[in-house]
A and B are shown apart, each in its own frame.
Chain A
Amino acid sequence: MNLAKPEMKKTREGFGKALVELGESNPQVVVLVGDLSESTMVNFFAEKFPERFIQVGVAEQNMMTVAAGLSLVGKIPFLSTYGAFASCRSLDQVRVTLCYGQLNVKIGGAHGGISVGPDGATHQAMEEISIMRAMPNMTMIVPADFQQTRKATLAAAAMHGPVYIRFGRENVPVVTTVDTPFELGRGIEMAPGGDLAIIACGVMVYEALVAREELLKEGIEARVINLHTLKPLDTEIIVKAARETGALVTAEEHQVHGGLGGAVAECTARMHPVPVEMVAVYDRFGQSGKPDELMAAFGLKSKDVVARAHDVLKRKRRAAA
């Protein structure tokens, strides 16, 4: 791919397109929406399969549990709303009916992250990873681009149990191809390197790849890992990176507490302790603004990844001295 001028595409479109594919291949797939058909792009499915499309209105708690009921008669329900509502408004339903009951419901959490932009803090979901990771039986995916969101959606339908897929609002760089393998719970090494490893999810995978180019100019070789599945966690790829590089930077468009960085730190603390630095939102709410200026203001650009890489390498050298 051309890092300087990448192809741009919406992750939510990957969700919407995959639902149509699923609709064609599996008559049990049904889609529910809470009055956000176009912005979550389930309108593609609605147009093709109106008899399997269920409008629930502005009632996320009911939507979550209606989907649970549909799964009990053999349907494979996908529901979609904004991540802010999917992860918080209806969380009790997710916890008790879906996760405790191990029901086969797939949650499409749209508009994740600060890059939602002008809608401001209420609509910029940045807690989903921490919340969903805390739920037993939940599978949590944060795909990096259009193709990966499409594949994650197909993979969610193929497994049994509750799944949360987080995707964003904006056009984001395409970093994988149609042929890039995708396996739930298996991270992808996007670029090799032995000096440190940058473990990223979502749009931050692209920022990590750009940071890697910058670091190469200084002679630093950073491995880049696309950790699309946050739960179950691919501890193998994390421990391997910790062992082989001795320094990790995590990068996520999400709160620092309990997200990707937290997951990686939990893993390395127990299995192979190394210095870890985290690129994330540091315990604050978002605000209105343009997506790009917000990403910069909240420290979520490649230059922030480069800065944390320098920090972690300092710690690595100090530990070795």
Chain B
Amino acid sequence: MKTRFWSILPGIVVILSVAMLSMKDIQKGENIPEDVKEILSNSCYACHSTGAKAEKAVKALDFRKWNDLKATKKVGLLNSISEVVEEDAMPPEKFLKKYPEKALSGEDKEKILEWTKKETAKLME
């Protein structure tokens, strides 16, 4: 019985560390505030997340890989996000014609812009 425990111990250690690491990943993912994430997942993720059909859009910005990005890349993308949101360039008109419920409301836009501003300031500290 005792030897058996010792033989599975390495396995337990591995499983626990993997679990801890993935927990850490999840925590890292929390740096997009919940309310903003909700807006993004409603209006942006359809094209800008891993697995979406819009290859070019995923390549330009993949929100699921947000945490793996370098700080400079994040600042660059945050700036682009704020620009396209301000100019109503995104989500594209064509997309909105098909899915009008995915349009950004004035409040949504404000929340996104507040986030991009705050996050940029944080990254540039």
A complexed with B: no
Binding site for B on A (CB under 8 A): none
Q: Which residues of B contact A (CB under 8 A)?
A: none
